[in-house]
């Protein structure tokens, strides 16, 4: 963990808190009926996007999922424009016409959330191919989850990235659930990372609720990809704390199951414990960050609520037809 320094440790905490507070705010306002469409929250999975993106530059790319707010924040997008987008306002990233599942910010290499499950594999592979053809040392990270790992595009993209040694990293956030379906009933093998052997690339399993571990493994994968070594498949084991979407009645699991994970395996609590124990950050420094983020989220909320909605005549603008 050579590059781990106090700046990176602060990035870990700031980013995980920014994601958590953002998601809690979205949850609250969705339930109040102020947000249109659907929202899927990243609560409990913050350590993965954070630990991976801490190794990336603005010129690197990521592709995301329907559960994309955390990846987008970790890659450096601005929460005020994300908030406005989710509220359907004209000041948002897609002028209020994309919503939660279509946020992109090319200026920081965030190629987009995606309503198509498994839609990111080929985009990330394409971006990695472009970097290689242009002789640039940018890497591309594809985030996806366990349900998406059973899409055919998983095979097509990883095989091509491996065969052509593209600078791509495939990060599976195995949160144990795909909507209402448990991972164990749809996938024959225990570990998705074990599939890497079929592509001749490294497959790594990491504790997805430990940001330090995620960072360490992602660092190796990023260095490998950047130096021409080709792709890595990382499986980060985690758990989806919230319902599949906000408003999900969650009839398929018990409240006790969720409570146990939150009590024992919350990535933010685990960060605090480790950082304090190792003397990496003080309680006071964390409280200052908490305050800063609270202010930032409140300002984003104000910006979103005061922003105008798109006009009806804008409906067909910015579309590819
Ligand atoms: C191609 C496609 N098939 C089905 C859906 C409907 N759908 C939306 S989310 C989801 C479950 C995805 O599970 P997973 O990949 O594990 O992601 P998670 O929700 O756990 O983050 C499904 C089936 C979709 N959006 N796209």
Express each pLDDT in 43-76 by its tens digit. 999 999 999 999 999 999 999 999 999 999 999 9
Ligand 1, from 114, 147, 180, 237: best to mutate by most atoms within 8 Å of Cβ? 147
Task: Name the one residue in this structure whose structure tokens are 């969650």.
Answer: 250
Ligand 1, from 44, 152, 175, 179: best to mutate by most atoms within 8 Å of Cβ? 179
Long-range contacts of residues 89-92, Cβ cutoff 8 Å, at least 24 apart: 89/304, 89/307, 89/308, 89/309, 89/310, 90/307, 90/308, 90/309, 90/310, 90/311, 90/314, 91/303, 91/304, 91/307, 91/308, 92/304, 92/307
71 lines ligand 1 (CB under 6 A): no
At 271, the pLDDT band (50, 70, 90 cuts) reads very high
pLDDT at residue number 145: 98
- Write the DSSP assignment of 241-285 as a string of letters: -S-SSTT---TTS-HHHHHHHHHHH-HHHHHHHHHHHTTSS-HHH
> Which residues partner with 204 through β-bridges?
234
pLDDT at residue number 1: 47
- Which of these CATH numbers, 3.40.50.970, 3.10.129.10, 3.90.1150.10, 2.60.40.420, describes 6-61+116-304? 3.40.50.970
CA-nearest of 289, 278, 285, 269 to 1 is: 278
Q: Where are the domains of the chain?
A: 6-61+116-304
For residue 205 the two structure tokens come to 């399993």
* For the chain, percent of residues with pLDDT exceeding 70: 99
Phi, psi for residue 286 in degrees, rounded to 5: -65, -40
**CA 151, CA 230: separation in Å to the nearest integer?**
22
CA-nearest of 252, 251, 270 to 261 is: 270
Express each pLDDT in 291-313 by its tens digit. 999 999 999 999 999 999 999 99
Answer with the residue of higher pLDDT: 3 or 284: 284
Express each pLDDT in 122-164 by its tens digit. 999 999 999 999 999 999 999 999 999 999 999 999 999 999 9
What angle is formed at CA 50 by the lines to CA 44 and CA 52, rounded to 5 degrees? 120
CB atoms within 10 A of CB 179: 13
Residue nearest to atom 4 of ligand 1 (CA): 117
C-alpha 109 – ligand 1 centre gap (Å): 23
C-alpha 66 – ligand 1 centre gap (Å): 8
Express each pLDDT in 93-111 by its tens digit. 999 999 999 999 999 999 9
Instruction: For the chain, give the longest Cα–Cα distance.
Output: 57
- Check if the beta carbon of residue 11 is closer than 8 Å to that of residue 210: no
- Alpha helices, DSSP H only, in 146-266? 152-163, 183-186, 211-226, 255-265
At 24, the pLDDT band (50, 70, 90 cuts) reads very high
pLDDT at 2 over 60: no
pLDDT at residue number 224: 98
Across the chain, mean pLDDT equals: 96
């Amino acid at each position: 963990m050579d590059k781990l320094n106090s700046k990176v440790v602060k990035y870990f905490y700031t980013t995980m808190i920014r994601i958590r507070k953002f998601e809690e705010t979205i949850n609250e306002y969705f339930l109040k009926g102020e947000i249109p469409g659907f929202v899927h929250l990243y609560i409990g999975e913050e350590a993965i996007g954070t630990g991976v993106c801490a190794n990336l530059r603005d010129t690197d790319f990521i592709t995301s999922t329907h559960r994309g707010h955390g990846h987008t924040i970790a890659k450096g997008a601005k929460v005020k424009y994300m908030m406005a987008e989710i509220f359907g306002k004209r000041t948002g990233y897609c002028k209020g016409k994309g919503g939660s599942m279509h946020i992109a910010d090319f200026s920081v290499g965030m190629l987009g959330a995606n309503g198509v499950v498994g839609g990111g594999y080929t985009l990330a592979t394409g971006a990695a191919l472009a970097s290689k053809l242009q002789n640039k040392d940018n890497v591309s990270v594809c985030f996806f989850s366990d349900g998406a790992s059973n899409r055919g595009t998983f095979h097509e993209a990883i095989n091509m990235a491996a065969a052509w040694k593209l600078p791509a990293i495939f990060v599976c956030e195995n949160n144990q659930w795909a909507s209402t379906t448990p991972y164990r009933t749809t996938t024959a093998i225990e570990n998705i990372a074990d599939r890497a052997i079929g592509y001749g690339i490294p497959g790594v399993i990491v504790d997805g609720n430990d940001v330090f571990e995620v960072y360490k493994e992602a660092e190796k994968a990023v260095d490998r990809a950047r130096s021409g070594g080709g792709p890595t498949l990382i499986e980060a084991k985690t758990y989806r704390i919230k319902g599949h979407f906000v408003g999900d009645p969650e009839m398929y699991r018990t409240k006790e199951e969720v409570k146990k994970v939150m009590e024992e395996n919350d990535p933010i609590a685990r960060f605090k414990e480790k950082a304090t124990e190792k003397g990496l950050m003080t309680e006071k420094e964390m409280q200052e960050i908490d305050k800063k983020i609270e202010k930032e989220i409140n300002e984003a909320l104000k910006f979103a609520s005061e922003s105008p909605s798109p006009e009806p005549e804008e409906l067909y603008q910015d579309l590819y037809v």
